[in-house]
Amino acid sequence: MTFVASFLKEDRPRRVPWKRTRTVRRSQALARRMGSAMQVDLLKGIRRFKSRIDPERVYQAWLTGDYSKIIGSVPWNDMPADLNKGLQIAGTTFEHALDLGVASLPPPVRDGFRLDEKNVRIRDFIATRTGAVYSNLSDSSARNIQSWTNRYFSQALTPNRVAAGIRNSICLLPAHEDAVENYRAGLLSGGMSGRRADVMAGEYADRLLDYRANMIARTETKLATNKGQLEVWRQGADEGLIDREKVRKVWLVGGADPCEDCEAMEGARAPIDEPFMMADGTPVDFPPLDVHPHCQCDMMLDLGDDSGQDGENTEGDDDAL
């Protein structure tokens, strides 16, 4: 999908914003609060995992010239335990979002609704998202280590340099790993000592790691809030309390500076069991799934009545949960 600078958006026609209900605003507040907590715990977990890397073991593997042994010197099996606290927050967010979804139902439906928290869709969603984050972080780390190794394989490096390079690459995006090494090379070419360049490269890697943790946290908590509410709507339809033929899920653009693709989806509607169709033909069950990282879009339920919305009170300050 195409992304454009914000100043280019001024010339584009804008849709009339869809009215945000109390539940939507509470969902946004939930995602912000839980996203901040998840970012903090993810960073702690990643740094704890990186501290488990034994510099001497990594260096001895490096001396063999065997890439598989270099990869094997990193204790990957410890990653799930180290990241578990942070990733549990996504599950907690999902549980709160289920409650918000129930609150969004009109009183006659809400009174007769019984949420099945053991529903297979709920269990599968939490397991799938947790596994996806683990896989993304470990896979990108392995690619980064391979890239770093290929870059320096023929050079004689000190144990500290090998350990620092491997550690810096853990959990970064591949482009960020390249940026760290390019930054270090620039410092060296400017006359900085290798020791000082290593320290500054490590600090730069930490800032980029913070960026990635923020991206994961914001994306996963927004996924959880939207999926939780959608699950309530689908269960309500399963129980015959919501008319699948009549109701629609509505795309609500979020964030201060949405991308062009998301902005075009403001007010888009789709049956609750069918995907939204984006302008480029991409099917999206709910944002930000398959849209892009950092997407902050929301959804609400359109009951198909004259107001086109769920009829909730839209007055008052709802940032506090």
Token duo for residue 189? 């070419």
Domain ranges of the chain: 19-302
Q: Which residues contact 178 (CB under 8 A, 6 or more apart)?
A: 147
| DSSP codes, 69-135 | HHHHTS-GGGHHHHHHHHHHHHHHHHHHHHHHHHHTS-HHHHHH----TT-HHHHHHHHHHHHHHHH
Token duo for residue 55? 């510099």
Query: How much is the pLDDT for 19?
Result: 57
Token duo for residue 223? 């996924």
Residues 104/230, Cβ–Cβ less than 8 Å:
no
Q: CA-CA distance, 263 to 277, in Å (whole number)?
A: 13
Q: CA-CA distance, 308 to 33, in Å (whole number)?
A: 29
Token duo for residue 269? 């509607």
Is the backbone peptide bond immediately before 75 cis, with ω within 30 degrees of 0?
Answer: no
Query: How much is the pLDDT for 219?
Result: 93
Query: How much is the pLDDT for 258?
Result: 85
Of the candidates 204, 207, 249, 245, the one whose C-alpha atom is nearest the C-alpha of residue 226 is: 249
Residues 90/129, Cβ–Cβ less than 8 Å:
yes
Please give the helix or strand (H or E) that residue 209 lies within, else none. helix 194-238
Query: How much is the pLDDT for 57?
Result: 95
Could you say which residues of the chain have pLDDT below 70?
1-20, 120, 305-321
Query: How much is the pLDDT for 73?
Result: 95
Q: CA-CA distance, 321 to 30, in Å (whole number)?
A: 7
Q: Name the phi and psi angles at 279, rounded to 5.
A: -60, -30
104-133: string of b/e by CB count within 10 Å (b at 16+)?
bbeeebeeebebeeeeeebeebbeebbeeb
Query: How much is the pLDDT for 9?
Result: 37
Query: How much is the pLDDT for 63?
Result: 92
Query: How much is the pLDDT for 305?
Result: 61
Category of 245 on φ-ψ map: left (φ > 0), alpha (ψ -120 to 50) or beta:
alpha
**pTM exceeds 0.95 for this model:** no
Query: How much is the pLDDT for 181?
Result: 94
